[in-house]
Amino acid sequence: MSKTPGGMVRGLTLIVSVALLNLNSASRAADDPPAASRTRSGLLALYEFGASTGPVVKDTAGVDEPLNLLIENEQAVRRTDGSLEVRGKTLIRTAQPPARLIKAVQRSGEITIETWIRSRDTTQAGPARIVTLSQNPTERNFTLGQEGDRFEVRLRTTRTSRNGLPALDSGRGHAGTRPTHLVYTRDRTGRTFLHVDGRQIAHGSAEGETSNWASDCRLALANELSKDRPWLGTFYLVAIYDRALQPQEIAQHFAAGSSAATPPALAPGDDRFFLARIAPLLAEHCLECHDPGSRQGGLDLSRKVTALAGGDTGRAIIPGKPAESLLWQQVTSGEMPQDRPPLPDDVKQALREWIAAGAVWPLDVIDPSLYVLDGQKKQRWLQRLTVPEYIETVRSAVKVDVTQEARELLPKDLRADGFSNTAYNLNIDLDHVEAYAKLAETIVGRMDVKTFAARFSEDSRLSADRMRPLIEGMGKHLLRGPLTGEETASFLQISETVSATGGDAEQAVSYILEAMLQSPRFIYRMEDQSDGGIPRPVSEYELASRLSYILWGGPPDEELMRAADEGRLSGRLEAQARRMLRDPRAIARSRQFVHEWLNLDRLENLQPDSKHFPQWDPRLAADMRAETLDFFEEHAWRRKRPLAELFNAQFTVATPRLASHYGLEPQDDGPALYDLSEVPDRGGLLTHGSVLTIGGDHASMVTRGLFVLNHVLRGRVNAPPACVDTTPVPTEPGLSQRRIAEIRLADSSCAGCHRRFEPLAFSLERFDGIGAWHRRDQHGNDLRQNGEILFPGAEKAVTYETTAELANLLADSPRVSETITWKLAQFSLGRPLMAGDLPELNAIHETARTNGGTYAAVMTALLTSELVRMSRTESQP
558 binds another protein (CB under 8 A): no
Residue 44 has phi, psi (to 5 degrees) of -105, -40
Full DSSP string of 830-841: TS---GGGHHHH
Cβ of 678: how many Cβ atoms within 10 Å?
7
Q: Which of residues 691-720 bind another protein (CB under 8 A)?
A: 693-694, 696-698, 716-720
Helix 485-500 × helix 505-517 angle, to 10°: 140
- Residue 180 is inside which H or E element, if any? strand 180-186
Give the single-character DSSP code of 95: S
251 binds another protein, rule: CB under 8 A:
yes
At 598, which amino acid appears? L
Which one of 294, 376, 403, 660 is in contact with another protein (CB under 8 A)? 376
Burial (CB count within 10 angstroms: exposed 0-12, middle 13-18, buried 19+), residue 399: exposed
Among 62, 344, 614, 670, binds another protein (CB under 8 A): 344
Which of 161, 296, 365, 381 binds another protein (CB under 8 A)? It is 381
Which of 173, 320, 445, 721 touches another protein (CB under 8 A)? 721
Among 68, 108, 122, 248, binds another protein (CB under 8 A): 248
DSSP notation for 81-92: TTEEEE-SS--E
Shortest Å, Cβ 210 to another protein: 29
Q: Shortest gap between Cβ of 109 and another protein (angstroms)?
A: 27
Identify residues 604-623 at the interface with another protein (CB under 8 A): 604-607, 609, 611-612
Establish if 601 lies at the interface with another protein (CB under 8 A).
Answer: yes
Q: Which is nearer to another protein, 222 or 606 (CB)?
A: 606
| Phi-psi category of residue 245: left, alpha or beta, with phi > 0 → left and psi -120 to 50 → alpha | beta
Answer yes or no: are the C-beta atoms of 119 and 170 closer than 8 Å: no
Of 61-120, binders to another protein (CB under 8 A) are: none
Q: How far is the CB of 721 from another protein (least distance, A)?
A: 7
Contact 169, 162 (CB under 8 A): no
Nearer to another protein, 232 or 834 (CB): 834
Pick out residues in 497-516 that bind another protein (CB under 8 A). Answer: 497-498, 501-503, 507, 511, 514-515
Query: What value, to the nearest 5°, has the Cα angle with vertex 392 and ends 528 and 550?
Result: 50
Question: Taking the complex as a whole, how short is the minimal distance between the CB of residue 622 and another protein, in angstroms?
Answer: 14
| Integer Cα distance of 557 and 547 in angstroms | 10
Give CA–CA dist 647/651, Å, rounded. Answer: 11
What distance in Å separates the CA atoms of residue 164 and residue 186, rounded to the nearest whole number?
A: 13
Which of residues 424 and 651 has its CB atom nearest to another protein in the complex?
Answer: 424
Torsion, CA 689, CA 694, CA 696, CA 701, rounded to 10: -100
Among 1, 433, 454, 464, binds another protein (CB under 8 A): 433
> Which amino acid, one-letter code, is at 145?
G
Site string for another protein, 156-185 (x = CB under 8 A): ------------------------------
Distance between CA atoms of residues 373 and 531, nearest Å: 23
Give residues with Cβ within 8 angstroms of 305, minimum separation 6: none
Strand pairing category for 218-221 and 92-94: antiparallel
Part in contact with another protein (CB under 8 A); list of ranges 153-161, 290-298, 406-414, 655-663: 406-414
In the window 319-338, what residues touch another protein (CB under 8 A)?
A: none
User: 203, 602, 657, 784: which one contacts another protein (CB under 8 A)?
Assistant: 602
Nearer to another protein, 207 or 504 (CB): 504
Q: Identify which range of 84-92, 201-209, 313-321, 432-440 contacts another protein by CB under 8 A.
A: 432-440
Task: Judge contact between 672 and 658, C-beta under 8 A.
Answer: no
Q: What is the dihedral of CA 833, 838, 840, 842, to 10 degrees?
A: 110
- Smallest gap, in angstroms, from Cβ of residue 30 to another protein? 11
Of 545 and 817, nearer to another protein (C-beta) is 545
- Output the smallest distance, CB 417 to another protein, in A: 5
The smaller minimum CB distance to another protein, of residues 597 and 674, is found at 597
Applying the rule CB under 8 A, the residues between 665 and 694 that interact with another protein are: 693-694
How many residues of this chain interact with another protein, rule: CB under 8 A?
Answer: 99
User: Is residue 290 within 8 Å of 338, Cβ to Cβ?
Assistant: no
**Looking at beta carbons only, is 476 or 698 nearer to another protein?**
698
Which is closer to another protein, CB of 840 or CB of 874?
874
Scan residues 513-532 and list those touching another protein (CB under 8 A). Answer: 514-515, 518-521, 523-524, 526, 528-530
Residues 811-850 that bind another protein (CB under 8 A): 832
Radius of gyration of the chain (CA): 32
Segment (H or E) for 44: strand 43-47
Contact with another protein (CB under 8 A) among 72, 85, 353, 487: 487
Asked whether position 30 contacts another protein by CB under 8 A, the answer is no
Beta strands in 639-739 (DSSP E): 651-654, 672-675
Q: Contact with another protein (CB under 8 A): which of 3, 41, 62, 430?
A: 430
12, 21, 23, 36: which one contacts another protein (CB under 8 A)? Answer: 36
Does 414 bind another protein (CB under 8 A)? Our answer is yes
For another protein, the closer of residues 117 and 423 by Cβ is 423
Backbone conformation region of residue 164, classed left if phi is above 0, alpha if psi is from -120 to 50, else beta: left
Nearest CA to 185 out of 196, 174, 171 is that of 196
Query: Rounded distance, CA 862 to CA 864, Å?
Result: 5
Site residues (CB under 8 A) for another protein, limited to 268-307: 284, 288
Candidate ranges 30-38, 137-145, 264-272, 547-555; the one touching another protein (CB under 8 A) = 30-38
Binding status of residue 422 toward another protein by CB under 8 A: yes
Nearer to another protein, 315 or 521 (CB): 521
The smaller minimum CB distance to another protein, of residues 191 and 432, is found at 432
Closer residue to another protein in complex, CB, 72/417: 417
Whether residue 246 contacts residue 42, with contact meaning beta carbons closer than 8 Å, is answered with: no
d(CA 687, CA 404): 33
Q: Is 494 a binder of another protein (CB under 8 A)?
A: yes
Closer CB to another protein, residue 319 or residue 337? 337
Q: How far apart are the first and last CA of the chain?
A: 23
Q: By CB under 8 A, what part of segment 742-771 binds another protein?
A: 769
Residue 708 Cβ vs another protein, minimum distance, rounded to whole Å: 16
- Using CB under 8 A, which of the segments 6-14, 368-376, 732-740, 758-766 binds another protein? 368-376
The full 3-state SS of 148-164, as one line of letters, equals: CCEEEEEECCCCCCCCC
